Structure formats: structure tokens, C-alpha cells
């Protein structure tokens, strides 16, 4: 599996040309920012969470992104139903276990969703990934209390147990699947000051999974693109407020030359 600046750019061009529909069942906090990020990259977002329509919406999508950030029983059932439909149709599923480990409800809900319908890509921060394996692992709200490298063993266990690609985000992003380990070093310290950029990462994983049949490549491409866009945005931002706006512009204007100049990836 080849992953470099050329393969990343090839996928960006595919997204811009095809505008794949990415069906998001996501949280109230990030609906707007995730949709705008997908649009800026070139994908077509839809935010639909009603249990009565999710199965029909999935039929139209190139990828399904499930984000448990704002849970309720009806949303959980909608997530489960959408995942079953996506699996039946061979549509890639990205699961973001926001805040797993913070409360038993979040942890148990995520474990149920994974057990019933294993995702194609599981993307979370270190605390979230570890909480899905070890009951004693805790998160601070929805933020990680651990660095991404500490979750590698938990990520391996989840990948092997459920046959999925696991992406652990942090200062270094790790993508694991079977005997594959990819490290992405792109990003900027200002990015964690903007709420929901982890959720944006999951949404972008959906866009790349819609055009790339390799889940590890799709996840690595998404993390690299977001990290590079974050670096470009931070270079012209005074703080987190302007970073949000500039990040959308960076995704929209992203070029092959910028990817080639900035990519920091070990595969």
C-alpha cells in the first residue's frame, strides 16, 4: 500500500470531481463545522439523524459517519439502523466514539455499536480508544487525558477483534490495521483550541473512504490533509477564532504543491 503526497492529492482530486455524499449522524456542536469542512474539501455533506429516514439516506451515500457526541436513545437506534444498512450495502462506516470513557452510557453505547456492526474506520483520541478496551480508562469530558502513542496497544486489540482500521489522533496521528502502522506528524498546537476538529477529522475520513477502497489509506490521507490545512491556517491566524475560518479556506485552496512541501508521514 503506497501512501505519499501523490496518492493523497489523487484522492483530493477524486473528492472534488465526484463530490461524494457523506451521511453524518453527528452531534449538535459540530454539525455546521463538519458540513463546511466537507464542502470546502469538495464532498457533499448531509446531516440526517431521524430513525425514520437514515436507512434511506444511507442508500444515497458514499460513506456513513457516526459520531456519538450528543447521545439520546433515539439517536442511538438511528445510528445502529444506519450502520446495519451501510454494512448490508458495502458502504464504509466511520465511527467517532466522542467522550467514550467519560460516562458508562457513552462507553457502553460505543461498544454496542461496534459489536453489532463493526466500523470500517474507528477514529478517536487516545483516551477514547483506550476506554473501549479498559474499563478504568477515563476521559476528561470529550478531551483526551493521554498522548496518542499510549493507545497503540488498545488500538491493535480493537483492530484485530473487529477487523477495522483504527485511527488514534493526537500530536502524532496513528493509523493501524492488521500489520499496517502509519504515523502522521502534521498539525498545529492551535488546532485543539478549536472545538470539534476531531469530529472534522472523522468527517474527512468519510470523504476519503468514499473514494478510496483502502481504509488505512483513506484514514491516513484524511489526517494528513487536515493536519496540513491546520498548519496553513495557523500561519495566518491570530487565534482559534480566525483558525476556524482560515482552515476552511485552506481545505478549499489546498494544492498538490502544499501537500508535497508539508507532508510528514511514516508508512
Can you give the pLDDT at residue 74?
96
pLDDT band for position 252 (50/70/90)?
very high
Distance CA 131, CA 170 (A): 16
pLDDT band for position 133 (50/70/90)?
very high
Strand order in the sheet with 165-169: 44-47, 21-25, 63-67, 93-96, 121-125, 165-169, 173-177, 180-184, 265-266
Express as a percent the part of the chain with pLDDT over 90: 92
Q: In 3D, which of 130, 216, 129 has the Cα closest to residue 179?
A: 216
pLDDT band for position 136 (50/70/90)?
low
215-249 pLDDT, tens digit per residue, is 999 999 999 999 999 999 999 999 999 999 999 99
41-65 pLDDT, tens digit per residue, is 999 999 999 999 999 999 999 999 9
Per the prediction, the chain carries an average pLDDT of 95
Determine the average pLDDT of the residues in 116-131.
96
Can you give the pLDDT at residue 200?
98
The β-bridge relationship of strands 173-177 and 121-125 is unpaired
Can you give the pLDDT at residue 49?
96
Cell numbers that stand for 247 in this block = 482552515
Determine the average pLDDT of the residues in 121-145.
75
Of 12-26, 106-120, 125-139, 206-220, give the lowest mean pLDDT range.
125-139
Determine the average pLDDT of the residues in 177-196.
95
Distance CA 106, CA 87 (A): 22
CA torsion, points 198, 203, 206, 212, in degrees to nearest 10? -70
pLDDT band for position 259 (50/70/90)?
very high
Delineate the domains of the chain, giving CATH numbers in brackets. 5-266 (3.40.1190.20)
| Beta strand extents in 97-152 (DSSP E only) | 121-125
Amino acid at each position: 500500500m503506497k501512501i505519499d503526497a501523490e496518492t493523497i492529492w489523487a484522492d483530493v482530486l477524486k473528492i472534488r470531481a465526484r463530490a461524494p455524499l457523506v451521511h453524518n449522524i453527528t452531534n449538535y456542536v459540530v454539525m455546521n463545522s463538519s458540513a463546511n469542512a466537507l464542502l470546502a474539501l469538495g464532498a457533499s455533506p448531509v446531516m440526517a439523524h431521524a430513525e425514520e429516514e437514515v436507512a434511506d439516506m444511507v442508500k444515497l451515500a458514499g460513506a456513513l459517519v457516526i459520531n456519538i457526541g450528543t447521545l439520546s436513545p433515539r439517536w442511538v437506534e438511528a445510528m445502529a439502523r444506519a450502520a446495519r444498512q451501510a454494512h448490508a450495502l458495502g458502504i464504509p462506516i466511520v465511527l467517532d466514539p466522542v467522550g467514550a470513557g467519560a460516562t458508562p452510557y457513552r462507553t457502553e453505547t460505543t461498544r454496542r455499536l461496534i459489536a453489532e456492526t463493526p466500523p470500517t474506520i474507528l477514529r478517536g483520541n487516545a483516551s477514547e480508544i483506550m476506554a473501549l478496551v479498559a474499563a478504568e480508562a477515563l476521559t476528561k469530558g470529550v478531551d483526551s487525558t493521554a498522548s496518542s502513542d499510549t493507545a497503540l496497544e488498545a488500538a491493535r486489540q480493537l483492530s484485530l477483534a473487529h477487523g477495522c482500521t483504527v485511527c488514534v489522533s493526537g500530536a502524532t496521528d496513528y493509523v493501524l490495521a492488521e500489520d499496517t502502522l502509519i504515523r502522521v506528524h502534521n498539525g498545529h498546537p492551535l488546532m485543539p483550541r478549536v472545538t470539534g476538529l476531531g469530529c472534522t477529522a472523522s468527517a474527512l475520513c468519510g470523504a476519503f473512504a468514499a473514494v478510496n477502497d483502502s481504509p488505512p489509506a483513506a484514514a491516513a490521507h484524511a489526517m494528513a490533509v487536515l493536519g496540513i490545512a491546520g498548519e496553513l491556517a495557523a500561519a495566518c491566524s491570530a487565534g482559534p477564532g480566525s483558525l476556524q475560518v482560515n482552515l476552511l479556506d485552506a481545505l478549499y485552496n489546498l494544492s498538490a504543491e502544499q501537500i508535497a512541501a508539508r507532508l510528514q508521514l511514516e508508512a
